[in-house]
Structures are given as C-alpha cells and as structure tokens.
Amino acid sequence: MESSFVLIVLLFAALATGGLIVNWIGLGRAMSRLSVSAYVEFHQHTNRTFDPYMPIVVIGALAGGVALAVMYGVRSIPGQLAAAGAVCYALVIIIGVPTCVRINHQIASWSIQNPPREWAQTRVRWIRFHVIRTLFSVPALTIYLLAVMSNTGHQ
C-alpha cells in the first residue's frame, strides 16, 4: 500500500513538473515567436487544455509531499526532504496563481482580431513568471525522488 501511494505521489509530481517544462521549453518558446493574433489564439487554446489539468496535478503533488513528510516522519531525513519538496510546489502555486493564472484569465477574454496594445508586455510577463515557477518545480520533483530513495527505514 505504501509503495503504491509513493508511486502516485511521484506520478503527480512528474506530471506537474513535466507539464510546466513542456509549457516552458516547447510552448512558451513557440509563443514568443508568433504574431499577435496567432499568439492570442494559441494561448487561448493551450489555456483550455492546461487550465483544468495543472491545478489537479500541482495541488496533488503538494498534498502528496505533505503526506510523504508525515508518513516518513517530519524529523527524519526523508520526511524533511519531502517537506522541502512540498514547499517548492507551494511556491509554484504562490508564484503562478497571481501571475500566470491571472494572465491566462485575461488572455482568455481577449479578441483574437483586436488584442490590447500591451499584449507583448503581457506575453513577456507570463513567460518570465512561468519560467520562475518551473524552476521551483524541477527541484521539487528531484527532492521527492531523493526523499523516496533515502527512506531505507520503510522498505
């Protein structure tokens, strides 16, 4: 049962981090090269794809890390590692909600044919904060893996 739970936590963390990396390296870089109307349309479509999915996996990764910390014992090395990873996923949420998610909601209401004049600045801001939140997600997943591998007492 414990190993199944650990695998589920790692799956959520891998999906969260993977989704953020795909958005950064694949989609974000492509978005930065598009014309205004193509950018708005593309961003609106990716929002409809990622917006339902990302909160589930990021919150799942955060909650899973907290559960691992409790399961391993918060005073143990694996528990402290799991807690540190959970803090990183919490930072992904703290950074992403007021910036990237808010911008996603703004872009969802834009006209493809007539976006606001500040669309380019908004795009730069979204990419900047997306990179920052992704850079917290990568160590979070790595720390979870270290927590699981260092948990020799529960094998």
CB count within 10 Å of CB 98 equals: 11
Task: Examine the pLDDT at 143 and tell me if it is beyond 70.
Answer: yes
> Could you give the percent of the chain with pLDDT greater than 90?
88
d(CA 147, CA 30): 35
3-state helix, strand, coil in the chain (%, to 5): 85, 0, 15
* Predicted pLDDT of residue 84: 99
* Domain membership of residue 140 as a residue range: 2-154
Query: What would the pLDDT profile of 21-77 be if each residue is shown by its tens digit?
Result: 999 998 888 888 889 999 999 999 999 999 899 999 999 999 999 999 999 999 999
Rounded-to-integer distance, Cα 85 and Cα 108, Å = 31
Q: What is the chain's mean pLDDT, rounded?
A: 94
Domain count, the chain: 1
Give residue 153's pLDDT.
60
Asked if pLDDT for residue 120 goes beyond 80, the answer is yes
Q: What is the full DSSP assignment across 110-123?
A: S-SSS--TTHHHHH
Provide mean pLDDT across the span 139-150.
98
Residue 1 pLDDT > 80: no
Q: How far apart are CA 145 and CA 17, in angstroms?
A: 13
pLDDT at site 105: 96
Q: What is the pTM of this model?
A: 0.92
Model confidence band, residue 154 (pLDDT cutoffs 50, 70, 90): low
Q: What pLDDT shows up at residue 113?
A: 95
Beta carbons of 59 and 7 less than 8 angstroms apart: no
